Copies of this chain bind each other. A is one copy, B any other.
Amino acid sequence: MDLSIGDLSRRVAVKLPTIRYYEQIGLLPAPPRTEGRQRRYGPEDVSRLRFIRHARDLGFEVEAIRELLSLSARPDQPCEPADEIVLRHLQSVERRLAQLTLLRSELRHMLEDCRHGPVRECRIIQVLANHDECRYEHGKVG
């Protein structure tokens, strides 16, 4: 039950160059090759890649995933370190949510205030030119 990289890609829904990338950065082990140097994967690789993909979908960074993977390889150890990783991620998601919520109000107000006249009278442009006209303080948002 050997899978080509294309088979693996379709099964796990991870793009082919991404799989090679994960191998390159050491998230996935380098698989055995055919005589013609093509990669062949087994069921272990399928699970591992699924794990990675799922964690990425949940927004975990590669470094966090690396830690989670190495934790899952030690089933007897306590799982606090995993908790901590998830908690840190949750907190960053919450910070991000707070920022974006503020940002959303700001953008809504800009649109509401717009009188649809010439640019000269446009509140959108005015607010951008002058932070004092903002309703809220806001920090950087990516």
- The bracket for how many chain A residues form the interface is 35 or more
Measured between beta carbons, the chain B residues less than 8 angstroms from A101 are: 97
Contact of A86 among B47, B56, B110 (CB under 8 A): B110
Measured between beta carbons, the chain B residues less than 8 angstroms from A82 are: 114, 119, 122, 124-125
Inter-chain contact A118/B75, CB cutoff 8 Å:
yes
Measured between beta carbons, the chain B residues less than 8 angstroms from A134 are: 54
* Bound: A118/B76 CA distance, A: 5
* Bound: A93/B102 CA distance, A: 10
18 contacts between A and B (CB under 8 A): A51-B129, A54-B128, A57-B141, A58-B106, A59-B103, A68-B125, A68-B128, A72-B119, A72-B128, A76-B118, A76-B120, A77-B118, A78-B116, A78-B117, A79-B118, A79-B122, A79-B124, A86-B111
Which of A's residues lie within 8 Å of B, judged by CB?
A: 47, 50-51, 54-59, 68, 71-72, 74-80, 82-83, 86-87, 89-90, 93-94, 96-97, 100-101, 103-104, 106-108, 110-111, 114, 116-122, 124-125, 127-131, 134, 138-142
